[in-house]
Amino acid sequence: MHQDDFPTPGWKERFPEPIKFLPVIFILGIIGGLYWIYLTCHLLPRLQESKTTTTAAWEFAAFHAVTLMLLVCYFLSVFVHPGTIPDKEEDPSWEYDGSEDPQPIAVDTALHIRQEQKRSGERRKCKWCLKYKPDRTHHCRVCRMCILKMDHHCPWIYNCVGFRNYKYFFLLLVYTNIDCVLVVSTMLPSVRAGTQPTTPFMTMFLLIFGETLAGFLCVLVTMFLGFHIYLMLQAMTTIEFCEKSTRGGFRASIYDRGFVGNICAVLGDNPLLWMLPMAPPKGRGLTFVTEDTRLTQDMEAGRGLRRRAHEAKEAAHIAPKRRTDRPYSTGGTGSTGQSEEDSQSGSGSEEVPRAVADVGSSRDRPARASAAETGSYGATAVGEERVLRASKGSILAPVMTSR
């Protein structure tokens, strides 16, 4: 089901306090002021000069194209709802009743989808909305609802930045940065010319004010854009970044899909439309674990590790039994003629092994040679050891007597 098939909250529910539109009006005032300064104090005078007409024409086209994209992305960031948990009529499985027992984490074995959980193992739930929370969902007290893949609440757009409008907000930062760089770099010759004594004071003031304001915004927006580029490549939101920083670790996100996959998760699947305010990421925003995410890959790797560990454990359990059941050979191998049980119990004297070794060394040479030729020396030695042990009483006595 496409995300637009799900209804969004009404106007009064989304914007309950009109006074909070003041930051939006302030931002529009800044955009309009810089536009007017750049147009009247820089572009139009340069278009009237024959030496700078061509350059000013290119600047005019580029500036208006970028500014148009900026305004489109800004209005989309303000008016596109970031997405919320489905209502009971849409999907009753997200409804939470306080009297119900805690429900276990749902798992889809086909895609290995797992929901985030509390430390107790229960599903995350919102006590204000009385709904279970999907992955990466948080409750916004300003918007008074749960926001899917919530990044942060931005007062400058009077809206939360979440699953459905994050692309527009990201492109807003991109085009704002481009516009500020364009204004600062191209208006600098006009600022230098405006410092001449013949320049009217108001023109000089507007040029210096516009250049300073554009430069200040350029620095701020560049830093903010760089931060969000980092978040996009790390498959994290601002809330997840803050949670990791407070916990003292910046391990890779379980939603990591690789370099290109993380970009597609923000800007959409079609690279040709990445820089256009259209074709946002697919999905409803209720789950983010796919076959390409790190969580699924770690689960598969964990299964392989557990399988190898289990096989190694079984092999280690079988090996001692084989060593215990195999008797040791005597004569020429450095063995004392004791089994593993004898060596552990300490039975037998020092003279008995020497006598057996001596007898074996004098009588076993033909057997060893023939065994080596046939490649069955180990089996012959085992058989000889059994014979020697069986005849201890009959052989040792003459030997000891002769000594």
Nearest 10 degrees: Cα torsion 37, 41, 42, 47: 130
123 lies in some domain: no
Catalytically annotated residue among 73, 154, 218, 264: 154
213 pLDDT band (50/70/90 cuts)? very high
Same-domain pairing of 55 and 182: yes
201 lies in some domain: yes
What's the Cα-to-Cα distance from 165 to each of 28, 83, 177, 269, 398, rounded to whole Å? 19, 8, 19, 15, 100
* Span 214-236, average pLDDT: 96
Query: Is 218 part of the annotated catalytic residue set?
Result: no
Cα gap 95→93, rounded to integer Å: 6
- Greater pLDDT, 308 or 244: 244
Same-domain pairing of 349 and 283: no
Computed over every residue of the chain, the mean pLDDT equals: 77
Same-domain pairing of 58 and 207: yes
Same-domain pairing of 366 and 287: no
Cα gap 14→21, rounded to integer Å: 12
248 pLDDT band (50/70/90 cuts)? low
For 30-34, 126-130, 393-397, which range has the lowest pLDDT when averaged over its residues?
393-397
Q: CB of 111 within 8 A of CB of 291? A: yes
Side-chain-side CA neighbours of 134 within 13 Å: the count stands at 20
106 lies in some domain: no
Range of the domain at 371: 340-402
* Span 270-282, average pLDDT: 94
Same-domain pairing of 167 and 70: yes
DSSP class of 20: G
For 71-80, 132-141, 229-238, 326-335, which range has the lowest pLDDT when averaged over its residues?
326-335
317 lies in some domain: no
Q: What is the pLDDT of residues 320-332, one digit of tens each?
A: 555 545 444 444 4
Q: What is the pLDDT of residues 201-212, one digit of tens each?
A: 999 999 999 999
Q: CB of 298 within 8 A of CB of 324? A: no
Same-domain pairing of 200 and 76: yes
* Span 286-290, average pLDDT: 80
Same-domain pairing of 67 and 158: yes
Q: CB of 257 within 8 A of CB of 289? A: no
For 64-68, 261-265, 302-306, which range has the lowest pLDDT when averaged over its residues?
302-306
* Residue whose pair of structure tokens reads 């970028």 in the numeric block: 66
Boundary-marking domain end, from 229, 259, 292: 292
Q: CB of 158 within 8 A of CB of 23? A: yes
Same-domain pairing of 238 and 158: yes
362 lies in some domain: yes
Tell if the pTM clears 0.85, that is, is over it.
no
| Predicted pLDDT at 293 | 57
| Predicted pLDDT at 90 | 84
| Predicted pLDDT at 309 | 61
Q: What is the pLDDT of residues 136-176, one digit of tens each?
A: 999 999 999 999 999 999 999 999 999 999 999 999 999 99
The domain total for the chain is 2
Same-domain pairing of 351 and 288: no
Cα gap 171→193, rounded to integer Å: 34
Containing 171, the helix (H) or strand (E) segment is helix 166-194
Would the pLDDT of 97 be above 90?
no
358 lies in some domain: yes
Q: Compute the C-alpha angle 170/157/59, nearest 5°.
A: 60
192 lies in some domain: yes
Same-domain pairing of 248 and 382: no
Q: What is the pLDDT of residues 17-71, one digit of tens each?
A: 999 999 999 999 999 999 999 999 999 999 999 899 999 999 999 999 999 999 9
| Predicted pLDDT at 9 | 84
What's the Cα-to-Cα distance from 222 to each of 188, 227, 236, 317, rounded to whole Å? 19, 9, 19, 61
319 lies in some domain: no
For 147-156, 212-221, 283-292, which range has the lowest pLDDT when averaged over its residues?
283-292
